[in-house]
């Protein structure tokens, strides 16, 4: 059930981003938008390299090979979902409309929902995840 729901959350993230792109509400020539978006892309690349050759699953599905707690995973439990949000929010702010805000909210809410489902699956697969979660913030170091 959690895996199926995680697919819906994934589709929400992708759908919101596609909606923002098609309405030209995601990218901007402003340095105030470009800087956090470039930082977000670099964080995604760092996280993906740290995660290694493990495959990506549309459904939240913890992979074999042990819990990853190095690289950006030392600072945040979700260094791929976090930069997706970091990439989205500045674009929405730069192109503020109620529709872009709705699409941005769908992206962020879907990421939060998927994180929740994924964490439940991680605890089931890796009991040590509970201790990791207790000492590592979900998204933003020192805040959340």
Q: What is the pLDDT of residues 99-123, one digit of tens each?
A: 999 999 999 999 999 999 999 999 9
Domain-located, residue 121:
yes
Domain-located, residue 119:
yes
Give the total number of structural domains in the chain: 1
State how far the Cα of 78 lies from the Cα of 81, in Å rounded to an integer.
6
Domain-located, residue 57:
no
Structure tokens of 115? 């994180």
Domain-located, residue 144:
no
Name the band, by pLDDT with cuts 50, 70 and 90, for residue 144.
Answer: confident
pTM, rounded to two decimals: 0.92
CB atoms within 10 A of CB 90: 22
Which of 143, 123, 139, 135 has its CA nearest to residue 76?
139
Structure tokens of 128? 């040590």
Domain-located, residue 100:
yes
Residue 12, domain extent: 2-52+65-135
- The runs of H, that is alpha helices, within 23-144 are 31-51, 81-94, 98-125, 129-135
Domain-located, residue 142:
no
Domain-located, residue 143:
no
pLDDT of residue 18: 98
Residue 59, pLDDT above cutoff 90: no
Average pLDDT value over all residues in the chain: 93
Domain-located, residue 34:
yes
CB atoms within 10 A of CB 116: 15
């Amino acid at each position: 059930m959690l895996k199926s729901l995680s697919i819906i959350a994934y589709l929400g993230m992708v759908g919101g981003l596609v909606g923002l792109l098609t309405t030209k509400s995601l990218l901007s020539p402003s340095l105030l938008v470009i800087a956090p978006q470039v930082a977000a892309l670099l964080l995604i690349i760092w996280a993906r390299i740290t995660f290694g050759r493990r495959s990506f699953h549309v459904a939240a599905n913890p992979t074999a090979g042990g819990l990853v707690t190095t690289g950006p995973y030392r600072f945040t439990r979700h260094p791929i979902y976090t930069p997706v949000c970091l990439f989205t929010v500045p674009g929405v702010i730069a192109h503020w409309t109620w529709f872009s805000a709705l699409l941005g909210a769908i992206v962020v809410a879907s990421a939060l929902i998927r994180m929740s489902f994924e964490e439940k699956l991680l605890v089931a697969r890796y009991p040590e995840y509970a201790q990791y979660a207790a000492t590592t913030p979900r998204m933003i170091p020192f805040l959340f």
